[in-house]
Structure 1
Amino acid sequence: MLIAEAMNKYPATISKELSINEAAKLLVKYQVAALTVVDDDNKLIGIITEGDLLYKKIRPHAPHYVNVLGASIYYSGIGEYNAQFKKLLAAHVEELMTTEVITCSPKDEVEGVVATMLEKHLKTVPVVDETNTVVGVFSRRDVMELIAKEN
């Protein structure tokens, strides 16, 4: 079966200028795990997920380090701490969204996309055409619907 036959053809999309609060309200309203972020031409520029918004409710954990001969060596990653802190301060979708998005084509086989979703721990995969225009979204909910339809 092709993704085009199983995907949601009417995905919830948002602008990068939207506030984090507005994005959270839309996730709740549409009962989805992610929103695709598009430009004025409906081209994919990112995705914002429930997981991204979780960072708004935690404090970044200070990185663990050891002091060796007067030098601090971080072993849990100062970069990870900086990324968490940046997400905590984010006010708009653009500051929190993921820009390196794993996508699929409407012509892809469902089985291959589901395998990628499992491997990468994805709940939602935007479906784009050859010009990177969002034409749908494929989510775990769509997989559940396929399983429910099986005899």
Structure 2
Amino acid sequence: MRIEKLYPMTSTRLMVIDVAATLQVAALTLSNPGIGLVVVSEENGKAAGVLSKSDLIRHLTDREAKASVEALMSRNVISCSPADELQAAWQVMVENRIQNMPVLSADAKPLGVLDIRDALKVLFEQEQLQEHMLANYIAGIGY
């Protein structure tokens, strides 16, 4: 299954803030239920980085006086595209120990955020369907 088929899930998790946004704006955005990552964009709408709840919490424990979203965001954005296979995206998330991954267009514009729980749910449902179809085939019921 391709990521583009999960657009209803990934688009609802998409939160974008400007690179010049304050930490308070980032915190308010991340306080929404189900949001674990915000995409930080430049003026042209392209992703410049990401800021996670963990990044913000780490900042609060460090207590830097003059930090900004731009200073805290991760610039090395690990992302996927709508054409990527869900299984491959899930493997990247596991390998990099990330819970949320932005879905970016070919020109690096944010389209959504893939949550690892959503990915696992869909992958599990696919496996259940295949198991059911195989059991029906073996029992002679057909597809």
Partner of 1:114: 90
Name the SS for the 1:21 alignment partner.
helix
Moved over 3 A (4+): 147-151
Name the SS for the 1:88 alignment partner.
coil
User: How many residue pairs are counted as aligned between the two chains?
Assistant: 124
**Which structure features the higher share of helix residues?**
2
Q: Which amino acid in the other structure matches residue 138 of structure 1?
A: L
RMSD across aligned C-alpha pairs, in angstroms?
2.0
- Find the aligned partners of 2:108 and 2:94 in 1 and give their Cα distance: 23
Structure 1 residue 31 displacement after superposition: 3.1
Given that residues 59 and 72 in structure 2 are in contact (C-alpha distance below 8 angstroms), is that contact kept between their aligned partners in structure 1? no
**TM-score by structure 2 length?**
0.76
Counterpart mapping for 1:44-59 below 5 A: 44-59=47-62
Name the SS for the 1:101 alignment partner.
coil
Counterpart mapping for 1:54-69 below 5 A: 54-59=57-62
Q: Structure 1 stretches of 5 or more lacking a match? A: 60-86
**TM-score by structure 1 length?**
0.72
Partner of 1:9: 11
Name the CA shift for 1:114/1:56 in 2 (closer, same or farther; >3 Å). Answer: same
RCO higher in structure (CA 8 A, sep ≥6): 1
Name the SS for the 1:45 alignment partner.
strand
Q: Which amino acid in the other structure matches residue 107 of structure 1?
A: A
